[in-house]
Amino acid sequence: MHGYGTNGRGLGEARSLGELAREHALLPLRIFLGVTFIYAGLDKLTDSAFFHATGAGSIGETMNAVRDSSAIPALVDLALKSPSGFGYAIAFGELAVGIGTLLGLWTRIAALGGVLISLSLWLTVSWQVSPYYLGNDLAYLMAWLPLVLGGAASFSLDALLTSRRRRIR
């Protein structure tokens, strides 16, 4: 089975199913991570309790609960100086990362943002999870790395912009 399209070697050139699969290999991961991070950001932004310094479901309560068991207590202390500010930074960061990833706009930068968010949450909130594979932040961290390395080769604004730049030259 052959598909037709551009693959860097010319217009209308036949491509094998394997080539098409390689070109689109990161698309399911992009969709999953993009939708998940958009949902996570919106979920935080619409949760009336999340941005409070104290109380059930608040970012402050979560940070206080994990402070002594985190890998980097100083990072938790920094978040506790302004729990609301930290909560908004995480929520808007997740939203920006998710939108960039889903649209494929500055994908590597968006994925790096996903790495940093996941790393910070792994080193603070889910560090104490034992065994480690039960915590999801480490898995998200690893899932972002292929997008940092590979970017968005297909169905992305990055690919569209690259294609336009090539036509202008």
Q: Give the span between the Cα atoms of 122 and 117, in whole angstroms.
A: 9
pLDDT tens across 2-27, in order?
Answer: 444 454 544 556 788 988 888 899 99
pLDDT tens across 73-123, in order?
Answer: 999 999 999 999 999 999 999 999 999 999 999 999 999 999 999 999 999
Predicted model pTM: 0.86
Residue of 88, 85, 83 whose CA lies nearest to 59: 83
Residue of 135, 96, 144, 91 whose CA lies nearest to 116: 144
Q: Give the span between the Cα atoms of 26 and 115, in whole angstroms.
A: 16
Taking the CA of residue 124 as centre, how many other CA atoms within 13 Å lie in the half-sphere pointing to its CB? 22
